[in-house]
Amino acid sequence: MAAFAFKMLRFHETDAQNVMTKPFIEIRGLKKAFSGQPVLRGVDMTVPEGEVTAVIGKSGEGKSVLLKHIIGLLAPDSGDILFDGAPLAAASHAEQREFRRKCSYMFQNMALFDSMTVYDNIALPLRETARLSETETGNRVRAMAERLELGGILGKYPSQISGGMQKRVALARALVTEPRLILFDEPTTGLDPIRKASVLALIDQSRRQFGFTAILVSHDIPDVFDVSGHVAMLDEGRIVWEGAPQAITACEDPVVRRFLAGEPEPVAAERIAQAD
């Protein structure tokens, strides 16, 4: 069995010049079908360590399904996902559990529990996955709250704080377990331009401060490019473009160019013209 070692993430200040760009995650030939309907048709992509990788593409292309494979909620029909060069499928159950403990997920709707205080919402993943005393848990929660400027609202409930503060609480909960990897599933969907920019800035600031690797699924083009060091576009179950965000605007692939321009597919455009 391949060696499968997990490195502990050291929280520290970092910047773009210090970010490591070696592949943290490699996805090779990933395929998945549901009831005979292919969703992922052979995904190949890399996720550089210490950066935000934006996964873009039309709705219904399998981006969230891809995230669920990475975090282990779904098993592929074929293909491999490698972490630090070793396939997760070759790891023992204990090693797989340890890896998943080093992953975190920030949901689109934040998924805070209304009946819990901010403190208890942030503490929840520690209580469920970490073997810490309540004193140790409290120390971790308060330290994270201070770093994200939430120290004064720990006793409040989600309904008593603003939407922006709720986003910070959700991010604090995602960070409190000291993850190596955070998955963001459309965190800015439905937000107005000001709040959208605020959430993206918060993700970028936190990534620089804490040094985690992130995968960010988003339709917010080109805003998401401002916080991403790497971009992958998923179309019809395959990665059709991958690289630096600065380079995607020069891509000649018609599928990529239409998506960036917000233009409908040729068949859809023809139907719209006929309807008019």
* Spatial distance between the Cα atoms of 222 and 197, rounded to a whole number of angstroms: 11
**pTM of the shown model:** 0.80
* Spatial distance between the Cα atoms of 45 and 217, rounded to a whole number of angstroms: 14
* Lowest mean per-residue pLDDT among 25-39, 101-115, 262-276: 262-276
3-class DSSP assignment, residue 165:
helix
**Above 60 in pLDDT, residue 272?**
no
Tell whether 63 and 170 lie within a shared domain: no
Tell whether 84 and 200 lie within a shared domain: yes
3-class DSSP assignment, residue 217:
strand
Residue 106: phi, psi to the nearest 5?
A: -110, 115
Give the mean pLDDT of 73-84: 93
Tell whether 92 and 203 lie within a shared domain: yes
Q: Which residue has the higher pLDDT, 136 or 92?
A: 136
- Is residue 140 in a domain? yes
- Is residue 59 in a domain? yes
Tell whether 117 and 172 lie within a shared domain: yes
- Is residue 13 in a domain? no
pLDDT 10s digits, 99-108: 888 899 887 6
* Spatial distance between the Cα atoms of 67 and 61, rounded to a whole number of angstroms: 12
Tell whether 32 and 91 lie within a shared domain: yes
**Strand 230-235 to 238-243 pairing:** antiparallel
Per-residue pLDDT, 158: 95
Tell whether 39 and 96 lie within a shared domain: yes
CA distances to 28, 77, 138, 195 from 147, rounded to whole Å, are: 37, 41, 14, 20
pLDDT 10s digits, 167-195: 889 989 999 998 999 999 888 877 788 87
Tell whether 36 and 83 lie within a shared domain: yes
**Above 50 in pLDDT, residue 128?**
yes
* Spatial distance between the Cα atoms of 48 and 229, rounded to a whole number of angstroms: 8
pLDDT 10s digits, 189-226: 777 888 788 888 888 988 998 899 999 999 888 899 99
Beta strands in the chain (DSSP E): 23-34, 37-48, 52-56, 78-83, 86-87, 103-106, 181-185, 213-217, 230-235, 238-243
**Count of the separate structural domains present in the chain:** 2
Q: Domain range holding 199? A: 20-102+180-249
CATH number at residue 226: 3.40.50.300
* Lowest mean per-residue pLDDT among 25-29, 69-73, 74-78: 69-73
Task: Give the domain-ending residue among 178, 195, 214.
Answer: 178
Residue 221: phi, psi to the nearest 5?
A: -105, 130
**Above 60 in pLDDT, residue 13?**
no
**Above 90 in pLDDT, residue 243?**
yes
Tell whether 195 and 163 lie within a shared domain: no
pLDDT band for 11, please (50, 70, 90 cuts): very low
Amino acid present at 77: D
Q: Is the dihedral of CA 45, 209, 129, 165 positive or negative?
A: negative
Per-residue pLDDT, 188: 81
* Spatial distance between the Cα atoms of 83 and 48, rounded to a whole number of angstroms: 11
**Above 70 in pLDDT, residue 268?**
no
Give the mean pLDDT of 128-156: 93
Tell whether 87 and 197 lie within a shared domain: yes
Cis bond before residue 264 (omega within 30° of 0) = no
- Is residue 270 in a domain? no
What is the layout of strands, in order, in the sheet containing 37-48?
Answer: 37-48, 23-34, 78-83, 86-87
High-pLDDT (> 90) share of the chain, %: 55
- Is residue 15 in a domain? no
The single-letter DSSP state of residue 1 is -
Q: What is the mean pLDDT of the chain?
A: 85
* Spatial distance between the Cα atoms of 110 and 173, rounded to a whole number of angstroms: 10
Tell whether 90 and 26 lie within a shared domain: yes
- Is residue 14 in a domain? no
* Spatial distance between the Cα atoms of 161 and 159, rounded to a whole number of angstroms: 6
Per-residue pLDDT, 267: 58
Nearest of 40, 112, 21 to residue 81 by alpha carbon? 40
Tell whether 63 and 126 lie within a shared domain: no
- Is residue 256 in a domain? no
First to last CA, the chain: 61
* CA angle centred on 241, ends 174 and 25, rounded to 5°: 40
Residue 248 structure tokens: 């995607």
* Lowest mean per-residue pLDDT among 73-87, 184-198, 222-236, 240-254: 184-198
| Alpha carbon of residue 206 to chain centroid | 13
